[in-house]
Each structure stands twice: as structure tokens, then as C-alpha cells.
Structure 1
């Protein structure tokens, strides 16, 4: 565990709640949040993620039972409260996921609040783009409802970034030295926020994870 969570002090802890108007007002003064992501659930016989803040404290968790291609993944806080629901769109020609606020499974469909749409890029032309991200409903957030993002790089190599229209990174996945591919760093800009950045990581892992639970997924990520 000492090798998993970061040891550097002085990095701000991630926010584990939805964005507020006060957060949007001070977003320019905030520093990026640095998280350590462990691609493993702490629960027995579960698949998922365990995420630590800069002090080594548990920040987020994902605990998914069963194997195979999932239709829905839930990001939780330390207490097990659902922060985001990441859901696969059915009958889509390309991989298409939608990130909802809170527990979308428990909420009425009409009340479920979609935040981001994530589509895997499908093209025969060479490109460094992996996926395209479109904000859907971002009330009380600093994210523009008209601004789209692109994911570039390689998730499999743990070297990718979510960039805005100006090329600025709002989230980055970086390798963590001497640990392996199952432990890596996530840097979240305050414009996006730590929960949504982690939601995008979960989506990318479903698209490009290359885990043993799906031969098709390994083929796509090659």
C-alpha cells in the first residue's frame, strides 16, 4: 500500500461532491488535484478502482461485481455514496457512454442528470484522438455547455489527456514510476473537477482497458 498512494505533501485534496457556484467563482485560483488511481477494488471478488488523495487517504472507489462488458459503473465516495453513474448507450455503432450525476439507476429516468457524453473515435484515418467528450448538462459548474473536449494519447500506456478547444489539458493520466500499469496518477484541473475526471478514467478503462475480462476489449485497444 505504501507504493500505491502518493507520498508528496502539499497537493490539494480532491472534491468529492458536485460543483457549486462558489467553486466556479474561485476556480481560477485553485490548483490541479493530483490523485493516485489503483485499478483494483478493496472488496473481495470485486473489480474496480481505489483512488487515493495526495495524503494517502481514500478519496473515491469503484466496486463492481461480476466480469465481462458492463453496462453501468458507479463512482462512489469513501462512505459508498454514488457520485457519478457511467452508463453505456445501447444500440450505438461506436462505444458511447454517458456520465450522470449521482445514482442514475436509483433516480427516475426523467430526473437523471446527464453531465458528459463520451464517444470513442472511430475512423480509418490516423489520429492521436481516442474519444470525444461533450458536456450535456452542467448547471452550477464552470464547464461551458457548448465546449467539447478531445481525449488524446494512449490510455493503455497511461499517457493521455483530456483537452479543450484551445489544447489546454483539463485532465491527465500519467504513469507512476516503479509501480506498474495498474497504479497511475490522475491530474484534474479545477475546471473539470476530480469526480468528473475520474468518471472519464472509468469510461476510458471500459473502452481501452485491455483487461483479461474481455477479449474484444483487448482487440480494440491494440
Structure 2
């Protein structure tokens, strides 16, 4: 089965991602999340490379496959973020509190799919992301707060602001002074006439500041898609 998925990924990638690869080769993007630091720019395609699966495909500026998600369908209980070779990096689990109007998502290291509920509960998450409810927030730009550790921990480390629907979001550190990652619409300039063409909402750019983990930044994209799609 694994061999089939790998061969299918390569075949579908060659057939369906050619346009994106060509654009990346002809127009490599150099972006910055702050004026004083360099950043990495990744192209996020809201589509799986595996046939009959919904997911995400993330391509680097050199056209290489950086991350992928193949188990994404609607609002699944667990989402597994994999590297380009199919190795699990992070698992995202939704945790809904019955007596509170707050939704939480827990981020675990590696793959916990298939583990029993008891085993999952005994494993400590590395981050907890809490969606900000409109009725509770003062700043309408805030989308979510990211805490280190589990639900009971209250150490705020990142704040996400903007609009995911319009693919315009920024991830700030706890001081809200530094942007560590950013989601932007992907645009390309046509060689004849200099016309700027947008790729729509299915293909966009994830800019990651140097020193910030790109895998975790992609996990933020998956969470925002869960919260606001």
C-alpha cells in the first residue's frame, strides 16, 4: 500500500503540479516576514497528490515537495502533517469542551493515529490552539491564540490575526511585535503586458521567518482551514 501511495504521488505530481512547478522555477519568490530578516516562501496547494484523497501539497521555491496532507476530508478528528517523503511530523486533534463556548486543537509530535484514547490522553501535546470567538474578543483581527503545552497550560506563545478567508493572516509572537509567519495570496506577473494574475484561494503562499519552524507554520495553516473553511 505504501509503495502504491508513493508511486501514485510521483505520478500525480508530475501530471497535476507542473503548472505550479513551472511558475516557481520562472518566478522564485523572495519574501520577508519582517524588514530585518530573511524568510522562506512556500507555495501551498489545497489539494492532495494521492488520488481520491483531499488534502494539501506544499512546494518549496526549488519545486521540491516539502509537506503533504492526504487524510484531510471535511473536519476530521485527526489531521496528520507529513514531510515530502510521507513521514508523519505532527498530528492535530480537535478537542471540544462540552460546557464552554471554546474550541481547542491539540498538536502532537509524530503520528498518534490508531492509538487508543487512553494512550493519546497520556501523551502530552506540544501546543494547544484556541479559536477566538467573535462574541468574546475585543480585537476583531484576532483569529486564534497558541499556547505551549496542553489545555490547562496558559503560556501564550503566538497570536494569529487577519482573515483566512481572504488568505491574509499573520502569526505574531507573544509580544505581537514580530511576525514569524504569514499567509498571502499567490500572484504572478504575466510576461506579456505585465498583468498580475491571482491563483485564487486554492493556491497561496506561506512565508516563514528564518528561525521559525516551517512544519509548525504549516500546522497553523491546517488549523485555520479547520476553523474558517
Instruction: Give unpaired runs (5+ residues) of structure 1.
Output: 13-28, 138-144, 210-222
2:110 paired residue number? 102
> How many angstroms does 1:146 deviate by?
4.3
Taking a change above 3 Å as real, the CA distance of residues 150 and 166 of structure 1, as seen in their structure-2 partners, is closer
2:199 paired residue number? 179
1:207 paired residue number? 227
1:134 paired residue number? 147
Report matched runs for 1:58-207 at 5 Å. 58-64=65-71, 67-91=73-97, 93-105=101-113, 108-109=119-120, 112-124=123-135, 125=138, 127-136=140-149, 146-164=155-173, 165-177=175-187, 178-207=198-227
> How many angstroms does 1:191 deviate by?
3.6
Alignment RMSD: 2.6
Report the Cα distance in structure 2 between the residues aligned to 1:36 and 1:182, rounded to whole angstroms.
Answer: 10
Higher Cα Rg: structure 1 or 2?
A: 2
TM-score, normalisation: structure 1 = 0.74
TM-score, normalisation: structure 2 = 0.72
> How many angstroms does 1:52 deviate by?
0.3
Indicate the larger mover: 109-118 or 196-205. 109-118
Specify which structure has the higher proportion of helix: 2
The answer to which structure, 1 or 2, has the higher relative contact order (CA under 8 A, 6+ apart) is: 1
Report the Cα distance in structure 1 between the residues aligned to 2:124 and 2:219, rounded to whole angstroms.
Answer: 14
Q: Contact (CA 8 Å) 1:46, 1:64: kept in 2 or not? A: yes
Q: Contact (CA 8 Å) 2:97, 2:103: kept in 1 or not? A: no
| Aligned positions, number | 185
Instruction: Give unpaired runs (5+ residues) of structure 2.
Output: 1-16, 188-197
Q: Contact (CA 8 Å) 1:158, 1:173: kept in 2 or not? A: yes
